[in-house]
Each structure stands twice: as structure tokens, then as C-alpha cells.
Chains A and B, each alone.
Chain A
């Protein structure tokens, strides 16, 4: 089961930063900024809110470094804090911005870039494209849970804590999403056959 990070000895990098080491602070930012940006996109599509929230998060971390707690998982700490910041920043603009973070029908214009290392994984790579568009159709919370679980590799327990929901809800988000996404597998296996056909035409 989940163990509170405070109960374990802390991460040395975090410890150094808490003691005022600026280089460690910069290293933490460098290591996690990209991951946080990726995650931020699942919480809201407002890029300004994401960037401002990351900015606020790190400035406040530095200002409060002496009083914040030790942690074994910097990543977990930052993700949870970022979500909190984003929600707060969205609610500040509540009257200007009607977009709810739980809005289901949003579509993102991520620059499409699948990991390009396909060696030996023909079928899987074919499916990734279909999967990607199916994911974007899912309710926002399910997208977020899937992203945290499978991309950022948090446990179900941690996903629940980051998203501020109970364990059962987090599991349900993930399970419901998988159930929908499973369908893309069938579609893709038939497209793999088309793919094979394509080459046999050229072989002939």
C-alpha cells in the first residue's frame, strides 16, 4: 500500500535544494519541466495557464524551500503541486474562461510526434496512431488518469492522490478508458493486414 513520502528518508537532490542550493533547484527544474508540461496539457488545454502554473510552482518552491517537507519522490510531489496550481489558476479566471477542466469534447493540437524507434514493433506502431485519436475522444479525467498511469508510471494510489480523488475513482477512470481503447486494437490488427498486402503488391 501507499506510504506517505514523509515517513521515509528524503531524496538527496531535494534535500540539497531545501538547504538553498540553487544548482540543485535548477537541476530539478531541468529534469521535470518537460514531464510537467506534458502532464499539464492533460489537465487543461490553456497553454498560458500551464506555463504560468509551472512558473508559480517553482518560484513558490524556492521561496518556501526551508519549510516544505522532505520527499522520496520529487516527481510525485511536483505533479500533485502542479495540478493544484493549475486548478487554482483556472478558477481565478473563472469568469473570463468558461472552459471546464472536466470538459469532455476538447480536442488538442499536439504536434504529432510518436516515438520514432519502431524496430521490430510494426503492429504496435501502427496502432499507436489510432490509439492517439481514440484517447483524445475520452473524457478529460480519463485522459489524465491514463497519462499518469501509463506514461508517467505512477501507481494507481499515486494517480488518485495527484488527481485528488479516492483510490476507487482513479481505478475506475483507468479501467473505463482501457475498455474504450481496447476497440482500437481490433481495428488496427486488420490495418496491419492491409499493411502486409501493400508490400506483397510491391513484391510481385
Chain B
């Protein structure tokens, strides 16, 4: 079969091609990989078609919340057990609406009770922001998952609060105000950046996941990045004035500690870096007489970190170690032990000290 004249939609509609993209049929995988390797000229069209197929899957949303599923099941059970006639769903809608009102008004009540009583300056700054925003205060003792109108998900830790807009359709910038600790999974939208205000620090992204720890009155504000790219910078109250914003760019597995008193940004690796490359499997860390150059390359690719070492000096180092899912620093420890080296972390980089093998 000659696919060189195929268009994007020809590929995307081809059933065997879809099986390759989904990696659901080994035969198709083998076939397409071989075919594409032999016809590099079709690569751009293939890549577009592949992207289209992947995205058609991603655009779908499956509801997170189970209440609807459970309420339908309850009606099925009632009818099965008691031979009742159909209970139409209109009634449940009213029930759901009622529970929302209760939750929201409870939130307002809490704010009235505590709003004036706290002397903390941070709380004061936060409270004075955006009266027209909705607010979520987490007093549940456990993390609270919140979906914003733009699809972004915020996991708000206990004793943390967030102000957000109930509708982001007509804004150029998606802004929220945080007091406390939260994990953000931001929906991509290149035209409308997402900005988290935490006192004097702003975290700006287009779509990614990251965590911010900014408890009221704390000395440091910490922003850690899980996926994507994030820029963190300060802004004085009269923000328009200064063009030269102080700030840093963060990549996955990096975090920045902003020392509020000194107004310093301190960039470092997160405590437990995670594998950021989805193509990497734990078996890729099974090293068998592997040159050190390859070993470090595998780690760099998997964790998105930078490893510095003297290549010439360590040329004759080979590693045999069946590593797998242990954390990055554990892996480094084992590797260094086998060749009598040691490592240190400086900023976001890992430095290997070795006198050769």
C-alpha cells in the first residue's frame, strides 16, 4: 500500500493507523513504524494526523463527580427491588442545587465570623482583593479538589483559601488569589495566561501543574513545578510602574523559594524529583555494564535534570545495577557507591565528584 499521497484526514481515518497511535495492536505498531521509517517525507503529515487522533481523545471529558452516577443507580435499584415506576431525574436536580447553596452560604458565614478577628497582614491583603470573586475556604481537615470555570483544577490544602472568578469567559488573564497551600493543574490556553497571586509574588503559566505553598505570615513562598513551564516574579502594589520584574523560570522538578524579607529567589530541585518523561519505563534503569555517559543521559532524560561530571575522567566507568522505581537521589547514591564517587546538588544541577575508574 502506498501512503505517500495520503492527507492528514486519510491517515487519521485509517483504522490501522489509529491502532498504531493508540499502540493497541502490535501488528499495526510494527507495520507503521517500519513504513514511516522507510518514508521520511511523510513524517510531517503523519505527525499532524497523530496529533489529531490523540487530541480527539483528549477533548472529551468524563465527569469527575460520582453523585449523578450514584443517583441514577439509586433509582435503578429502587425500581428493580420494589418494581416502582420511573422516577424522572428532574427532582434530583433540585436536590443538588439545594446542597450547593448550603455549602456556599456556609462559606460566607465562616468569613464573616473570622474576617475581622485575624490581625495577620497577609490575611488583610488577601481579604482586600477582589470582592467580586468567589471564595473557597478549606476547613475540612483534608485536601479539597476544586474545578474552576476554565477547567483548571485546584487542590486546596487544609486551612487554605482561594479567591477565583466564577466565569473566565470574558477575561484576557485568568487570575486567582491564594492564601495557603495548593496544587494547580491549569488548562492550557495560550491566549489567556493563568496568574496566581500570593501576597507580593505572582506565578504565571499557560497551562501546567505546580504547587504553591504560601501560608499567611510565612517567611518563604515556595512554588514547585510538576509539569510544564512556570514563571514566578514579584510585583509591587503599583505594579504598572516596573517593567523590570524580578523573577525566575521554572521547569519540571524545580522549585523556587522566595525569601520575603530579603526579596530573594532561590531556585532548587524539588525534594523528590519525579520521572517527567512519559516514555520512560522503570526497566530503562536496569543498567548492565552500561557506560556512565549513557547512565547519566538516561537519568537526565527521565527526570529532566542536568547532571554535570567530567566525561574524560569518568570515561572508563561502567555501571551494573538493576535500578527501577527508587527515587532519583537513591539511584544516584547507588551509582556513586559502585564507582566510589559522590554527588551534590547545587541550585538545580547535580554535580558528580569522581576521580575516575
| Interface of A toward B, CB cutoff 8 Å | 26, 29-30, 33-35, 37-38, 47-48, 51-52, 54-56, 58-59, 62-63, 110-129, 131-132, 135, 146-147, 149-151, 153, 155-156, 171, 174-175, 178-179, 181-182, 185, 191-192, 194-195, 198-199, 202-203
Contact = CB atoms under 8 A, between A and B. Distances in A.
Contact of B188 (A29, A125, A153): A125
Contacts of A156: 15
Interface of B: 7-9, 12-13, 15, 18, 22, 24, 48, 51-64, 68-69, 72-73, 75-76, 79-80, 86-90, 147, 149-151, 153, 185, 187-191, 193, 204, 206-209, 227-229, 231, 247, 249, 252, 276-279
A130 to B, nearest CB: 9
A124 B8 contact: no
Contact of A124 (B55, B88, B189, B227): B55
Given A178-B9, A199-B229, A114 B56 contact: no
Contacts of A178: 8-9, 12-13, 52
B86 A55 contact: yes
Given A48-B88, A114-B151, A203-B249, A38 B62 contact: yes
A132 B61 CA distance: 10
Contacts of B278: 119-120
B72 A33 contact: yes
22 contacts: A29-B73, A30-B73, A33-B69, A55-B72, A111-B61, A115-B58, A118-B188, A118-B207, A118-B227, A119-B276, A119-B277, A123-B51, A124-B51, A125-B188, A125-B207, A126-B188, A127-B55, A150-B18, A151-B56, A151-B57, A181-B56, A198-B190
Nearest to B226: A119
Contact of B206 (A135, A175, A198): A198
Contacts of A48: 88-90
A111 B63 contact: yes
Contact of A147 (B60, B188, B209): B60
A49 to B, nearest CB: 9
Given A34-B63, A117-B227, 6 more contacts: A38-B63, A114-B59, A118-B188, A118-B227, A120-B278, A182-B52
A73 to B, nearest CB: 15
B227 A111 contact: no
Contact of A113 (B64, B191, B227): B64
Given A37-B63, A55-B79, A113-B64, A128 B188 contact: yes
